[in-house]
A and B are shown apart, each in its own frame.
Chain A
Amino acid sequence: MYKLTGELPRRISAAAPRRVVRALQRGWTGLRAVPTEAIVWIAGLLAMASADPTAPPLIDLCVFDALGAAFCPGCGLGHAIAWLARGEVVASFQAHPLGIPAVAVLLHHVVRLTRRT
């Protein structure tokens, strides 16, 4: 036991920075074991799922739209995922029929990515 009075226990103060560094290193190694691509897909899915499907669009990421194309095969996927996250399967299908398969494929892909590191 350390004495409660007096200076800061020397052992702790000396070891603390090293421990922090080691914890950070461990965390970093653990993070590096997860492939970047898996992180990208999870982040994307979470961003889509947390968006409000009824709100007007904030930003338009669609390149087809930016190029002035009349039709984009992927647009509506974000809304489909957002509706799905809220349990609205019919609304999800109406937003984009491929929303549900897309989530399934992406999750399967992420599992495959992280299984072998």
Chain B
Amino acid sequence: MSKVLRYLPEIEDDEQLYVAQLITDMSDEQAKQFAYVYRERRREPIHILLLALVGFLGVAGAHRFYIDEIGMGVLYLLTGGLCVIGTIIDLFNYKDLAFRYNRRQADEVAALVGDAFPDDDEEGTPPSFDA
């Protein structure tokens, strides 16, 4: 938990718990890189709420496109957000929508960072040229 507070102080709730669990075993260098990339990729929940509100102006589903749910986005767009009912549901639901997207991104970034910045002890072993 201390790492997430140090490197990603702006995230909260479920996302904070999830990321804390994800980076708890990372080295400081890895956690720093994780925070750097993850911050670029994650979606701010309040932006999803604002995009959902745009649905009341007639163009519904922008928030679904924003979190890569293209099918739902098209459906909302063509049906006026399922007669606005879907849009209203998403106003209550926006934190879950954000968390779902961010969780997927966090998993990917963690895998990326794990590959690109191996642990210190692995890095410390020099490649052998015996053969």
Contact = CB atoms under 8 A, between A and B. Distances in A.
A61 B79 contact: no
Interface centre among A35, A61, A73, A74, by most chain B C-beta atoms within 10 angstroms, is A74
A37 B84 contact: no
B55 to A, nearest CB: 10
A16 interface: no
A74 B71 contact: no
A77 B79 contact: yes
Nearest to A73: B80
Interface in A10-33: none
Given A101-B75, A105-B71, A109-B72, A77 B93 contact: no
B86 to A, nearest CB: 8
Given A101-B75, A108-B71, A109-B71, A74 B81 contact: yes
B46 interface: no
A101 B71 CA distance: 10
Contacts of A72: 80, 83
Contacts of B112: none
Interface in B72-113: 72, 74-75, 78-85, 89, 93, 96-97, 100
B69 interface: yes
Contact residues on B (Cβ < 8 Å of other chain), bracket: 10 to 19
Contacts of A64: 80, 83-84
A70 B62 CA distance: 23
A98 interface: yes
A36 B83 contact: no
B18 to A, nearest CB: 12
B83 A98 contact: no
A40 B83 CA distance: 15
A35 B103 CA distance: 14
B93 A73 contact: no
Nearest to A102: B75
Contact of A63 (B75, B84, B97): B84
Interface of A: 35-37, 40, 61-64, 72-75, 77, 98, 101-102, 105-106, 108-109, 113
Given A77-B82, A98-B79, 19 more contacts: A35-B100, A37-B89, A40-B89, A61-B85, A64-B83, A64-B84, A73-B79, A74-B80, A74-B81, A74-B84, A77-B79, A77-B83, A102-B75, A102-B79, A102-B82, A105-B72, A105-B74, A109-B71, A113-B100
